[in-house]
Structure 1
Amino acid sequence: MTEPFGARLRRAMDERGPLCVGIDPHASLLAEWGLADDVAGLERFSRTVVAAVADRVAVLKPQIAFFERFGSRGLAVLEKSVAEARAAGALVVMDAKRGDIGSTMAAYAESFLHRDAPLFSDALTVSPFLGYGSLRPAVRAARESGAGLFVLALTSNPEGSEVQHAVRSDGRTVGATMLAHLAAENAGEEPLGSFGAVVGATLGDLSSYDLDIGGPLLAPGIGAQGAAPADLPRVFGTAVRNVVPNVSRGVLRHGPDAGALRASADRFAEEIRAAVAAV
């Protein structure tokens, strides 16, 4: 039986530090690297990032949209990058934010969470805003394959608050409701559950929310979006040990030099370790 994602993630975070590096090959970043905005540039970018950091960071998180824009050839690059990253020991979180109902959600789950799928990943980001129950096919698929999910709960984009901070009839916000669902999914799982939440590192004091969900918290916002590793304890409190901070541009802007990419990732990882250890 495959070891659950949560257990594999806990080990990777303890051994390599909790850093997640995003792979976001948008056109402006390709240009900064001196690469053409085409499939060849996409492949050079992605494989450079994987080769530079996949053997040292806990998680790599490709944003699928930047590959899909090149059609089937872009997805072929993504398949190779995922396979190479996992072969080097990094866990791969596919940032696809899929969300639908019934058989469609099941098909999305099969695309990313079935072990024989070309884009099989260790975890998948999903959107619960058709109702948390709409994610049930993905939850089942993740459990069967030993994969995980990261569910949007309290995202770093300003627009997210109109949905996620909305108050339900029971007095809880939508975001708090998603956290409670995830805590239930992870009940009894040790050392870490496989069902995590996406919670922005830029949101400030979140002490009114119960972030101790028994699973990981994927935290975008470190670096270019304005949050720093030192902010993590203030934002996440006692749940900070389970936080997986995501850095994209803060690392990627140092390419195409592989040594500079590695040095930046190592620096962020050490700053995050120090911030977590201080709690």
Structure 2
Amino acid sequence: MTTESFGTRLRRAMDTRGPLCVGIDPHASLLADWGLTDDIAGLERFTHTVVEALADRVAVLKPQSAFFERFGSRGLAVLERAVADARAAGALVLMDAKRGDIGSTMAAYAATYLDPASPLFSDAVTVSPYLGYGSLRPALDLARESGAGVFVLALTSNPEGAEVQHAVRADGRSVAATVLDHLRAENAGAAPMGSFGAVVGATLGDSLGAAGADLAINGPLLAPGIGAQGATAADLPKVFGAAVRDVVPNVSRGVLRHGPDVAALRESADRFASEIRDAVAG
């Protein structure tokens, strides 16, 4: 249990380490690129190397839980160790699990990632609101109680997302805009920043306007798409406008492709962090 909110810890980490989140995505092709086998030994080597290289310098590390779950209980053991080691080295851990359900099932997901007694307790977790924003209440309440954070899918970069996220409700508001409204209410009065964030793709550009999206939610905006997906640090002010200081750009393949060389991983992460810091400050 922490006495500080996730928003407070995230703002400090972004200000001191730079506003960068690096994914830990041990998918089969990346393991092969590193010369590793697609098995538990390769998973363990990959994950340990990323944590060793980056946990003492980046603000946020984001393990993608699916790539660990595919190896069963042994994969989850690797994930548990990665979470503990990364947090011990000073990185905030955002578990990319994208969980979403109702009732007791949502409460169980919340307990898995947001209860300090859980071996997978993380600083924050990604969730999906598309069973209705209210279905997320167990996660939102437990995060507030435990000093953790929640990132809610709002405007994702995959092209399929628009059919749901840009859909217009009877009140004339898009689904995405409604999700952002809810998050703004969760973060009301929080300083220096709320703990309840949105996932908004850095590659979306002008299409954000089509969703009627006001990104000023007094909370963090996780922005995938920098690097391999085509967005650059220079795009951030144009995409996020006045909310750019609250953006946590996510880079995965753009950094991870430099492994397994630890020095090269560090150099890549440092370069992205510097470019993002300059773009936000400018």
Q: TM-score range by the shorter chain?
A: over 0.9
| TM-score (norm. length: structure 2) | 0.98
Task: Give the length in aligned residue pairs.
Answer: 278
Per-residue deviation at 1:29? 0.1
Name the counterpart of 1:270.
274
Name the counterpart of 2:261.
257
What letter matches 1:172 in structure 2? Answer: R
The yes-or-no answer on 1:79 pairing with 2:45 is no
Q: Deviations over 1:122-164 (max 9, x none)?
A: 0000000000000000011101100000000000100000000
Large movers: runs of 4+ above 6 Å? none
Q: Which structure 1 segments of 5+ residues have no match?
A: none
The yes-or-no answer on 1:140 pairing with 2:144 is no
Report 1:179-258 matches (<5 A).
Answer: 179-205=180-206, 206-207=208-209, 208-258=212-262
Name the counterpart of 1:156.
157
What letter matches 1:71 in structure 2? Answer: G
Q: Deviations over 1:92-148 (max 9, x none)?
A: 000000000010000000000000100000000000000000000001110110000
What letter matches 1:220 in structure 2? Answer: P
Per-residue deviation at 1:226? 0.7
Report 1:23-102 matches (<5 A).
Answer: 23-102=24-103
- Using the alignment, how far apart are the partners of 1:171 and 1:221 within structure 2? 29
Name the counterpart of 1:110.
111
Per-residue deviation at 1:209? 1.6
Name the counterpart of 1:175.
176
Q: Which structure 2 segments of 5+ residues have no match?
A: none
Percent identity over paired residues: 80
| TM-score (norm. length: structure 1) | 0.99
| Aligned-pair Cα RMSD in Å | 0.7
SS at match of 1:219: strand
Report 1:121-132 matches (<5 A).
Answer: 121-132=122-133
What letter matches 1:259 in structure 2? Answer: A
**Greater CA drift, 237-246 or 200-209:** 200-209
SS at match of 2:213: coil
- Using the alignment, how far apart are the partners of 1:230 and 1:51 within structure 2? 29
Per-residue deviation at 1:222? 0.5
- Using the alignment, how far apart are the partners of 2:268 and 2:54 within structure 1? 10
- Using the alignment, how far apart are the partners of 1:43 and 1:169 within structure 2? 49
